[in-house]
Amino acid sequence: MHDEGFMLAALRQSRKALPECLPNPPVGCVIVDADTEEIVAEGYTRAPGKHHAEADALYQIQGKAFNFLKMYVTLEPCSFHGRTPACALAIAQDSRIHEIYVSVVDPDPRNNGQGLNILKKSGKTVYVGLCAHEVNLFINQYLLT
Ligand SMILES: [Zn+2]
């Protein structure tokens, strides 16, 4: 599968987040083992106060060893500690994850590029805009701007 296919898999996950995730936006995330090009974790945003999509996926690979993981997430990981710890920090601290594909930048002024900055500063490679058209069609209805 190619990068687009993995992001579309994350988009499919994000649809499962509704309606429990509201008022948080419905976000999906998949983690891919670069050695096998297989999805090793899938996650989506749970009810407020519970796991965001990224934390949901990371939880599934807790304690497992990987050389090189790629994360595909439909919305920029959060950079601030709200009801749950910041996802961008959790990803930045995970040495197994080397590349992060973000479809859409979070328009929330508390984030809005800051999550991307945390990831880049930690030495990760960050790609933005993959499948943005498809993700925007779905997520725009739920983003509070
Ligand atoms: Zn988050």
Residue 18 has, within 13 A of its CA and on its CB side, a CA count of 11
When pLDDT is cut at 50, 70 and 90, the band that residue 34 belongs to is very high
CA of 35 to the centre of ligand 1 (A): 26
Is there a domain that residue 112 lies in? yes
Output phi, psi for 72, to 5 deg. Answer: -120, 120
* Within-domain flag for 144: no
- The per-residue pLDDT for 130 is 98
87 C-alpha to ligand 1 centroid (Å): 4
Q: Is 122 inside a domain boundary?
A: yes
Selected residue with higher pLDDT from 1 and 50: 50
Report the number of distinct structural domains present in the chain.
Answer: 1
**134 a catalytic residue:** no
Question: What's the CATH code of the domain at 50?
Answer: 3.40.140.10
20, 38, 54, 134: the catalytic one is 54
Question: Nearest-CA neighbor of 92 among 59, 122, 63?
Answer: 122
Q: What is the pLDDT of residues 47-105, one digit of tens each?
A: 999 999 999 999 999 999 999 999 999 999 999 888 888 999 999 999 999 999 999 99
pTM for the model: 0.96
- Which domain, by its residues, includes 69? 3-139
CA of 79 to the centre of ligand 1 (A): 7
